[in-house]
Amino acid sequence: MSVEIPAVCVEGIEKSFGSLSVLKGLGLTAHSGDVVTLIGSSGSGKSTFLRCINLLEQPDGGTITINGELVRTRQDRNGKWQPADRRQVERIRSKVGMVFQNFNLWPHMTVLQNIVEAPVHVLKIPRQQAEEEAHALLRKVGLADKPGHYPSQLSGGQQQRAAIARTLAMKPRLLLFDEPTSALDPELVGEVLRVIRQLAEEGNTMIIVTHEMQFAREVSSEIMFLHQGRVEEKGAPEIIFKEAKSARLRQFLARAA
């Protein structure tokens, strides 16, 4: 009998900004191929939680384990929290890819340059190989004809698909999406969701923050509803959408519908 190691296991994440306690012991477990979706009102801590998982924010407490590698130790002998060191930060960044609401492409670089920059400089992949892989990724996200375009020459939907290709170029073990369609005109949302849905179907392990409830319902293996930095309720989509126990969650879903 083999015991499967979770792709990602996050436990007890705490984070404050000054006196404001934003995350109050949040955890999450995802096995390989799982899609965990975070929902919740603005300010409930969704972005901060994602940013803590790839150490864009240093959590004040908690542990993150990616494919069995503990990235943050819990406490030292004196009971003090130990922040991740620089090497741990680099390792986790190379394993965890993030797609942001506002694409965050480098404006002075073409789409192709945006995609090959990190593989060439961080992963030390030969440029020609990185470019071949970039073209394959561009085909995958429907941008085969845009490698030489600058971000400003693309629609929002195209920019976000290029940003997804850039993230995939690092071959991450875990993909984080923070409201990937919130900055898009409604008619461009579908083309980005289609790409994310395809990534889910291909078995990528993903954590997604979204307000697209129909999409969440269709792609998620688990949905977590955050309220004021805590998990108020979590479960399979059919449970969350049909028989939510939390009154707050039912209210949230009614407003989102």
Where along the sequence are the contacts to Mg ion (CB under 5 A)? 46-47
Q: Please report how close the Cβ of residue 179 comes to Mg ion at its closest, in angstroms.
A: 6
54 binds, among ligand ADP, Mg ion, none (CB under 5 to 8 A by kind): none
Q: Please report how close the Cβ of residue 42 comes to ligand ADP at its closest, in angstroms.
A: 4
Which residue, chain included where needed, has tokens 């996050």?
10
17 binds, among Mg ion, ligand ADP, none (CB under 5 to 8 A by kind): ligand ADP
Q: Which among 228, 252, 229 has a CA at the least distance from the CA of 240? A: 252
45 binds, among Mg ion, ligand ADP, none (CB under 5 to 8 A by kind): ligand ADP
Q: Please report how close the Cβ of residue 215 comes to ligand ADP at its closest, in angstroms.
A: 17
Cα-to-chain-centroid distance, residue 118:
18
First to last CA, the chain: 44
- 3-class DSSP assignment, residue 230: strand
Q: Could you tell me how many residues of this chain bind ligand ADP (CB under 6 A)?
A: 11
Site track for ligand ADP across 10-39, x = CB under 6 A: -------x--x-x-----------------
DSSP string, 28-75: EEE-TT-EEEEE--TTSSHHHHHHHHTTSS--SEEEEEETTEE-S--B
Query: d(Cα 253, Cα 211) in Å, to the nearest integer?
Result: 10
> From the list 13, 34, 46, 223, which residue makes contact with ligand ADP (rule: CB under 6 A)?
46
Q: Would you state the structure tokens that stand for residue 125, as one six-digit string?
A: 């992949």
Is the CB of 42 or the CB of 78 nearer to ligand ADP? 42
Q: Which residues bind ligand ADP (CB under 6 A)?
A: 17, 20, 22, 40, 42-48
